[in-house]
Structure 1
């Protein structure tokens, strides 16, 4: 990566970190993009160059989340999705929402716009998974089931994290739940 790309990546990360701090402290709906820009010492246009919407600013890793099921399926089918989830859980991958995220998820719960975006991200992930599995009607049905299990497992992580359970306890309980759930659907 060249110097220009490094500076862009650093600016994007700074803006995202500042925004997340403000959103967690004050709530998503109470913070404006102008306030984020001011706190990050960049222009509002700079914020929008990196994040087209305020929701994109909050869910700054949504592209990774949308693509993760499809990538796992391309590497190993539905079993690959299960195995990838379990591996992500064990290493406390940031997108699992397992560690240091109680404030983040409380912000989501407090904002109808963020809850709607979370549903959209889930729908996009399911569509990408369906394409990775072949894109035919059967693939779409299998993707709906697998994506539903994935969403339910992530919802269980969020519920437990917000309730204050330690990451190690959540990881073990959700890992066991994932194994049972995927077993019930035949994987």
Structure 2
């Protein structure tokens, strides 16, 4: 699975570039697990991917860009899996989206820990907007249009809050390890609290009225 935008046809040159980017990502992920994010250089990543340092830097200008791709890859998969028919509840789709990402993070604990460490070392949470906002905001707006989510609530603010819950829960999960609750438990508790607070009390309109 690459981070290419779903549904968009790529030209041969774009496909090659995406394939190279994915090879570099896979090489970086393996090295992060083997020797840690801090101890891995871009030169080593290029060598593992059997490409040049120049090519590596063309695709990832900074090593801190690799954790961003890690998040985007998971988010793209979550969107594919939770893509729902129009009758689905927006809140349940959002819950499924976060559940899938949480499961993926927990499935590779060492890689996830190294990606999160790298992300914080590069001041990523401070310097960059969340990778999840582009997914969450439309879901929330769709829920508002259907009367499932309070129309007075700001979708962008809710999306940031939900994304912050995942980030905070992930850091806690890494810090506490096996001594604490699972990441899925941490995330679901926070997500559920927010979604319950923003659910609209109005009955859902029939689908034909929303077209």
Q: TM-score, normalised by structure 2?
A: 0.57
Which residue is equivalent to 2:46? 37
- Is the Cα–Cα contact under 8 Å of residues 64 and 122 in structure 2 kept in the other structure? no
User: Alpha carbons of 1:19 and 1:127: their partners in 2 closer, same or farther (altered >3 Å)?
Assistant: closer
Give the structure 2 partner of residue 88 of structure 1: 97
Please, which of 160, 173, 184 is the counterpart of residue 147 of structure 1?
160
Q: Report the secondary structure of 1:158's partner residue.
A: helix
Classify the secondary structure of the residue corresponding to 1:53.
Answer: coil
Asked which structure has the greater RCO (Cα within 8 Å, sep 6+), the reply is: 1
State the alpha-carbon separation in 2 of the partners of residues 70 and 107 from structure 1: 25
Separation in structure 1 between the aligned mates of residue 154 and residue 74 of structure 2, nearest angstrom: 20
Structure (1/2) with the larger helix percentage: 1
* 1:15 matched to 2:28: no
Matches within 5 A, 1:118-129: 120-122=128-130, 125-126=132-133
**Corresponding residue of 1:98:** 106
**Structure index of larger Rg:** 2
1:176 is aligned to 189
In the alignment, which residue of structure 2 is the partner of 1:108? 119
Check 1:3–1:127 CA distance in 2 against 1; reply closer, same or farther (3 A cut): closer
Structure 1: stretches of 5+ with no match in the other structure: none
Q: Secondary structure at the match of 2:69?
A: coil
Runs ≥4 in structure 1, deviation > 6 angstroms? 1-6, 65-72
Alignment gaps of 5+ in structure 2 = 1-9, 143-150, 201-211
Partner of 2:4: none
